[in-house]
Amino acid sequence: MDVRYATNPDDARSYGTEELRDRYLVTDLFVPGEVRLTYSHQDRVILGGAMPIADLPLSLPVDDAVRTEYFCQRRELAVFCVDGAAAVTVDGVEYVLTGRDLLYIGRGSEQVSFAARDGLRAPKLYLCSAPAHQTHPTVLVRADQVQPINLGTEKGANRRRLHRYIDGTLVTSCQLMMGFTEILPGSVWNTMPCHTHARRTECYLYFDLAESARVVHLMGRPEETRHLIVGNEQAVISPAWSVHSGVGTSDYSFVWCMAGENYSFEDMDHVDMADLR
């Protein structure tokens, strides 16, 4: 497990490109036949990718960084199917996920494993986990169960569809919130005008990007921003003090997940465009 320690904005203002990437960018999430995990001390969020291959299921490991008997002993977990078809087995119960389906796994689930369900094609499963002090049932959410919300304008180049999976409506969790947003063709901006929320860490997984395309992800304090150049299926850890917004060289999608102090999706500290630097 890759461990990333928490950072503060006074330190981050002096980081160069490599330091920014080392601390906030998560790459190589999806490797055939492996589960890859990154532990962030920002609200103790764990990001990961599982890519099981045919006839070789993968078990969710527990690392010494967590130091529990099993991964979900004191954690909740969401599994989002980025691509392909997979079976996720939770304490003997199998759930089959296809593209854009999500499985919420509640605290106390002891055995979690992943298997391919589409012949030789290895699925890509994105994992997001946070500590939990409440137990909620495991729930499978199909992509077509989620009612999208249209946001943005063509003039602002930020037309997008927001899909909220875990936010206390379809799925209730302890503190984890998760969903994904599609940037519509002809638009390039996400979450602009941007915001912070000092009470939650938020992470983005960018996907549906062409191999040659990139997203310029903005982060840092609103009055002193920094940026990361992000490729397909790479994730960004955004500390609570940081803005999180991006502009792509083409349309794309991103999974967002949040964890922290409160449980209100609308809790945002909006930043006026004129205040960005």
CA 258, distance to chain mean position in Å, is 8
Can you tell me the distance from the alpha carbon of 227 to that of 170, in angstroms, rounded to the nearest whole number? 34
Tens place of pLDDT per residue across the chain (277 aa): 999 999 999 999 899 999 999 999 999 999 999 999 999 999 999 999 999 999 899 999 999 999 999 999 999 999 999 999 999 999 999 999 999 999 999 999 999 999 999 877 899 999 999 999 999 999 999 999 999 999 999 999 999 999 999 998 999 999 999 999 999 999 999 988 888 888 889 999 999 999 999 999 999 999 999 999 999 999 999 999 999 999 999 999 999 999 988 787 778 888 888 888 9
Confirm whether residue 136 is marked as ligand binding.
no
Confirm whether residue 197 is marked as ligand binding.
yes
Q: Which domains does the chain have, with CATH numbers?
A: 2-275 (2.60.120.10)
Q: Please answer whether residues 70 and 113 qualify as being in contact, where contact means their C-beta atoms are separated by less than 8 angstroms.
A: no
pTM: 0.95
Q: Please answer whether residues 100 and 155 qualify as being in contact, where contact means their C-beta atoms are separated by less than 8 angstroms.
A: no
What tokens does 87 get? 């079976």
Confirm whether residue 202 is marked as ligand binding.
yes
Q: Among candidates 152, 261, 221, 249, which has minimal Cα distance to 14?
A: 221
